[in-house]
Homo-oligomer: A and B are copies of this chain.
């Protein structure tokens, strides 16, 4: 590519935007950016202006001539875009609070990415992303869609499967953090280690080799995953990394449960490997009004206060408390790699294409990939042992069933997705939770309208 780049960020009023801006500025010598469009909706207008003005100050302070546009007109922004990043949350943080608190109020995990809450988030988000894709087909048919909207894997899968849009990559910061943990645990430079990641978003495993070609997977498990203390030590050298695990409770796996797995689980596997313990922790947070959603909401309010400061022209360090560190590394580096055909190894959500033999070729997986100008090319993972294979297959099918429910608005399919989700103990209470969530989010769930009307009548 030789032309100057136009980048569009949907959900541009997000508190993450300064990090994204920092990431672009850091790569200014490699990315000939002409314009960045921050797009948001009416309800996010105030935040868009606060964060957008900070973005302008950051660009100016960096001595760059990039145009920063703030707009509520998505179609105007998308016109001739080269890269579209998505970081929006339908219903804002209020919706996340419902996603987390309603299930917990019935003793069930909320988990806003892969749990009951995450499924509802998928129900709200997928129709919107499919709309965006329709706009892109018309307005910027050659653009790449870089998605970090959660549930990132499901959203990416929906874009490919139902939107028939292949130029999409899903991103997450968890694999980055996993790499840092391994490097910390082995006291090695991250670049000296070779990693292979395989699985799904927030549900992947990895293996590690050192510079001499020796596999160090077991050593990493022992050194970092057998206690909370060990994990903290492994992360110690990365000041900002600490925030990475802020999103979920910090409880250790059971040592013998993982030591001979042959692969390293990600932090979100805690939800599946020590489900009960995670639930207890979250129930306590719920009781104190300190679910992650609530904490994030407070953090965000503080952040936006900071962002308003007309003298601020850098990403404020307090942003790291928000969680989600390294997103800028992921998103900006991905764009950089595509634009410059860098062939970097990154872990992204992309079409499986055989990389994981235990899943169909045409599903989205999160897997180590080579990032070329033609997009991500996955590195073969091979197959899993039974101790992880079936759980992975179940999770993929939970995703597919959830996406189908999101697209069709079929209530039975939604119930089935809830039934097979391992974070939701099925039965009457789960149905109650689903019903309550559907009603609570009704303004963002047009596809479920009929069901919701019926449910409202039933419960009223």
Contact = CB atoms under 8 A, between A and B. Distances in A.
A263 to B, nearest CB: 12
A138 interface: no
A391 B377 contact: no
A416 B379 contact: no
Interface in A213-248: 213-215
Contacts of A374: 194, 209, 213-215
Interface string A299-318: 00000000000000000000
Interface in A373-393: 373-375, 377-383, 386-391, 393
A259 interface: yes
A452 interface: no
A117 B385 CA distance: 24
B386 A426 contact: no
A158 to B, nearest CB: 14
Interface string A44-57: 00000000000000
Contacts of A215: 374
Among A272, A345, A355, A428, the one with the most B-chain Cβ atoms within 10 Å of its Cβ is: A355
Contact of A341 (B211, B372, B428, B429): B211
Given A379-B370, A380-B378, A386-B400, A273 B211 contact: no
Contacts of A355: 354, 380
Nearest to A384: B397
A398 B390 contact: yes
A397 B391 CA distance: 8
A1 B428 CA distance: 42
Contact of A412 (B257, B373, B395, B397): B257
Interface residue range, chain A: 35 or more
Given A260-B413, A354-B357, A427-B274, A209 B372 contact: yes
Nearest to A207: B374
Contacts of A256: 411-412, 415
A353 B380 contact: yes
A174 to B, nearest CB: 20
A396 interface: yes
A260 B416 CA distance: 9
A46 B169 CA distance: 60
A426 B254 CA distance: 10
Contact of A425 (B276, B391, B415): B276
Given A1-B212, A192-B341, A254-B415, 14 more contacts: A194-B372, A213-B372, A257-B419, A273-B427, A274-B428, A276-B425, A276-B428, A277-B428, A370-B379, A378-B380, A390-B420, A391-B420, A422-B422, A425-B425
Interface of A: 1, 192, 194, 196, 209-215, 254, 256-257, 259-261, 272-279, 338, 341, 343, 345, 352-357, 361, 370, 372-375, 377-383, 386-391, 393-398, 400-401, 404, 410-413, 415-417, 419-420, 422, 425-431
